[in-house]
Amino acid sequence: MTATGSDRASAPTRVLVLNSGSSSVKYQLLDMADGARLATGLVERIGERSSLLRHTPAAGDARTREAPVADHGAALEAAAAELAADGLGLDSPRLAAVGHRVVHGGRRFTEPTRVDDDVLAEIERLVPLAPLHNPANLTGIRTARALNPRLPQVAVFDTAFHTTVPEHAARYAIDVATADEHRVRRYGFHGTSHAYVSRRTAELLGRDPSEVNVIVLHLGNGASASAVRGGVCVETSMGLTPLEGLVMGTRSGDVDPAVILHLSRVAGMSVDDIDTLLNKRSGLVGLCGDNDMREIRRRVDEGDEAAALAFDVYAHRLRKYVGAYYAVLGHVDAIAFTAGVGENSAPVREAATAGLAGLGIEVDPVRNAARAAVPRLISPEGSRVAVAVVPTDEELEIARQTFALVDEG
Ligand code: AMP
């Protein structure tokens, strides 16, 4: 049935975006009629003795509460109570849906998906591929459902944007039967950010996403690169897990897989020891003891050799990926830097593109040093490849995808 004009006028347009992480829940309430952010919030240190809830309504002062929050269910109930206190509760008739960030959607979930029992069961089946994240995401969905069973719940998957990566790029060159039995292949992550940033980059160039090839460098504490051809992702740097690829804050990125065998055989480390080493004690922190790029640059400027080496390893890996993705795409219209490091660190952007003028990739030092919170070009006028800084907004993208799904249904 088609909605009439007056139905449309009163149709709900708000979306609550929930990001249930391993020890925190972040939320944002957005109005898709005008993109306004009505409230944001965060519950941290869930399950610890003193959890912290910080709720910031658009109209009014931020409220902070410190009290034990036992689990993700209790965290979400506390967040819902804060929203309700501002007249923005989960029972509001203006709320159209809840959009949930779900880390792993495997091969099945190629699009945002309305949650039903079958979808929940499938997300559960994917837990072995994301043992820290998918259980927390599931609890978020189940709790939100219980708080208002009539409200549509939509799952937006970190992996979905990468399901278009062709088989020859998604396969590891290992025995096919073993790989298939255990679902070992490259899935990629940060997909919501790569989707949003590649589209915004096309907009910045004044072109349709279907006409442009973009290399997106999402450089936050976690970091990943993707090659996007005409709006479709064809390669990405994270793999079976978010450990592969670029050097990150605490993760190694690419290593010879035999490093693991060597450490097991020669150093007697257990699988869990090596897991902790590669995920928590590697990357920038492993190389120099710090994972904050601001602190690393400060140390480099003071002549600290370990920090300088960490920076050079980080930048070298980035340049290698830019070169590789140039070859994957054949023709590149733009390179977009995003996330905490990508948006804020001019030295990283300069080093990641240094020496690539032969490929048409150049950065203008004055434009690169300028600061702004909006998408902007940092390449010189008339440059063959546009180099851009494009702030990411995963919550807005989750809300947009969620609303598009429930609005059409
Ligand atoms: P994200 O995961 O996107 O929130 O990014 C977090 C990381 O961004 C931090 O660990 C810092 O390394 C980096 N970062 C944040 N602000 C700045 C800044 N002003 N300059 C350089 N790096 C920054």
User: So where are the chain's domains?
Assistant: 7-157, 207-394
Q: How far apart are CA 294 and CA 378, in angstroms?
A: 20
Q: Is the CB of 392 under 6 A from ligand 1?
A: no
Say yes or no: CB of residue 345 within 6 Å of ligand 1.
yes
- Name the CA dihedral angle for 234, 236, 241, 246, rounded to a multiple of 10 degrees: 170
User: In this structure, what token pair is assigned to residue 387?
Assistant: 């180099």
pLDDT of 52 above 80 = yes
Task: Indicate if the pLDDT at residue 22 is higher than 80.
Answer: no
Cα separation, 36 vs 61, in Å, equals: 17
**pLDDT for 316-349, tens place per residue?**
999 999 999 999 999 999 999 999 999 999 999 9
CATH C-level class of 7-157 = alpha beta
pLDDT at residue 260 is higher than 90: yes
> Which ranges of 248-386 would DSSP assign to H, the alpha helix?
258-266, 271-280, 283-288, 293-301, 305-329, 339-344, 346-353, 365-369
The residue contributing the CA closest to ligand 1 atom 17 is 344
Express each pLDDT in 103-123 by its tens digit. 999 999 999 999 999 999 999
pLDDT at 5 > cutoff 50: no
Q: For the chain, what percent of residues have pLDDT higher than 70?
A: 98
| C-alpha span between 112 and 203 (Å, rounded) | 22
Using CA atoms, how far apart are residues 406 and 184, in angstroms rounded to an integer? 33
pLDDT score of 9: 53
Mean pLDDT for all residues in the chain: 94
Distance of CA 300 to the CA centre of its chain: 28
The stretch 374-400 carries a mean pLDDT of 97
Is the beta carbon of 294 within 6 A of some atom in ligand 1?
yes
Which atom of ligand 1 lies closest to the CA of 392? 3
Tell how far the Cα of 175 is from the centroid of ligand 1, in angstroms.
Answer: 39
Closest alpha carbon to 282 in 333, 365, 223: 223
Ligand 1 nearest atom to the CA of residue 218, by list position: 3
Structure tokens at 300: 């480099």
Write down the pLDDT at residue 21. Answer: 82
The 10s digit of each residue's pLDDT in 157-200 is 999 999 999 999 999 999 999 999 999 999 999 999 999 999 99
The response to whether residue 247 sits with its C-beta less than 6 Å from ligand 1 reads: no
What pLDDT shows up at residue 7? 45
Would you state the torsion angle of the CA atoms of residues 359, 236, 399, 108, taken in this order, to the nearest 10 degrees?
Answer: 150
Question: Is there a catalytic annotation at residue 158?
Answer: yes
pLDDT at 95 over 50: yes
Q: pLDDT value at position 10?
A: 72
**Run of H or E residues at 15:** strand 14-20
pLDDT at 81 over 60: yes
Shortest CA distance to 41 belongs to which of 23, 13, 16, 4?
16
Q: 109 C-alpha to center of ligand 1: Å?
A: 30
Indicate if ligand 1 lies below 6 Å from the C-beta of 340: yes
**Position in ligand 1 atom list of the atom nearest CA 293:** 12
Distance 223 CA to ligand 1 centre (A): 11
- Residue 382, sorted as left (phi over 0), alpha (psi -120 to 50) or beta, turns out to be left
Does residue 12 register a pLDDT over 90?
yes
Alpha-carbon distance of 228 to 47, in angstroms, equals 39
> Domain 207-394 - what CATH class?
alpha beta
Q: Whose CA is nearest to atom 15 of ligand 1?
A: 340
Indicate which residue's Cα is closest to atom 9 of ligand 1.
Answer: 292
Active-site residue among 158, 290, 333, 393? 158
| C-alpha dist (Å) from residue 240 to 128, 258, 305, 387 | 11, 17, 33, 29
Tell whether ligand 1 has an atom less than 6 A from the beta carbon of residue 344: yes
Best mutation site among 224, 293, 295, 298 for ligand 1 pocket (most ligand atoms within 8 Å of CB)? 293
Q: What global pTM score does this model have?
A: 0.95
pLDDT of 1 strictly over 50: no
User: 242 CB less than 6 Å from ligand 1?
Assistant: no
